[in-house]
Amino acid sequence: MPELKACLFDLDGVIVDTARFHYIAWRQLANDLGFDLSVHDNEQLKGVSRMESLEIILKLGGVQISEEEKLQRAAVKNARYLELCKQMTPADTLPGVRAFLDELKRASILIGLGSASKNARIILERIDILSYFDTQVDGNRITKGKPDPQVFEMGAADLGVSASQCVVFEDAVAGIQSAKAAKMFAVGIGDPQILVEADLVVPGFSDFSLTRLKETFENRNIE
Ligand code: BG6
Ligand code: MG
């Protein structure tokens, strides 16, 4: 039975609630183009890179723009997003996250970041949590976005652990698919009806512990 050696965390929606800022900024971009973006449609954007998210939004609105305008509008969206992020403080770290990371540290379990965001470092610094991470894989390092397994495979390689020794924490459907494609144990943070492919789904870290994780991880069925 493989031992649990590393936990890989998505950022947005797992460590910190930046998803609401992404939504506000994307919705503004859609509004600028003359249509609206619903909360339901926003779900498709979670875990997906900036430019892929833009493509999805343009498709939803039935709007076509030039490649140059895409880059320009994505830059405006990112500037608005970062402006919104300025109001964040360490208190915006999602409930229970810091205590769970402390538990992992005490148990000498390695901690990695696996995020599609190019802003990951800025956000981690802003909420003062960067020092917990033994490695960070973010949107600046990956060439293939989630649901491709690359982001989590790179994290495991950085930490020198095998896929079977890793647990991934993800709030996005694409992220859970990425973890499963990497052959890792996937914990969904959110709604079990949405994150159907996860091995375990919890609402957040508040009522979660390393003991509970280990119980599920160690009793899983290995194919
Ligand atoms: C992911 C978010 O973590 O990062 C997506 O879930 C976002 O919503 C993606 O589009 C890219 O983020 P950024 O910060 O590089 O625009
Ligand atoms: Mg996420």
Model confidence over 143-202: pLDDT tens digits?
Answer: 999 999 999 999 999 999 999 999 999 999 999 999 999 999 999 999 999 999 999 999
Q: How far apart are CA 12 and CA 166, in angstroms?
A: 20
Sign of the Cα torsion 121, 85, 22, 73 reads negative
Pick from 14, 20, 117 the residue to mutate for probing ligand 1's pocket: most ligand atoms within 8 Å of its CB.
117
Indicate the range of 54-58, 135-139, 217-221 predicted with least confidence. Answer: 217-221
45 CA from centroid of ligand 1 (Å): 8
Q: Is the CB of 49 under 6 A from ligand 1?
A: yes
Instruction: Calculate the average pLDDT of the chain.
Output: 95
Q: Is the CB of 12 under 6 A from ligand 1?
A: yes
Nearest to 7 by CA among 182, 156, 205: 156
pLDDT of residue 222: 57
Which pTM value belongs to this model? 0.94
Q: Cis (ω within 30 of 0) for the bond into 147?
A: yes
pLDDT of residue 218: 87
163 CA from centroid of ligand 1 (Å): 24
Q: How far apart are CA 153 and CA 114, in angstroms?
A: 9
**Which atom of ligand 1 is nearest the CA belonging to 13?**
6
Pick from 29, 53, 136 the residue to mutate for probing ligand 1's pocket: most ligand atoms within 8 Å of its CB.
53
Q: Is the CB of 115 under 6 A from ligand 1?
A: yes
Share of the chain above pLDDT 90, in %: 93
Model confidence over 74-122: pLDDT tens digits?
Answer: 999 999 999 999 999 999 999 999 999 999 999 999 999 999 999 999 9
Q: Residue 175 is encoded by which pair of tokens?
A: 């992220």
Provide the terminal-to-terminal Cα distance of the chain, rounded to the nearest Å.
12
Q: Report all structural domains of the chain as residue ranges with CATH numbers, in order of start.
A: 6-17+90-218 (3.40.50.1000), 19-85 (1.10.150.240)
pLDDT of residue 220: 80
pLDDT of residue 221: 64
Q: Is 12 annotated as catalytic?
A: yes
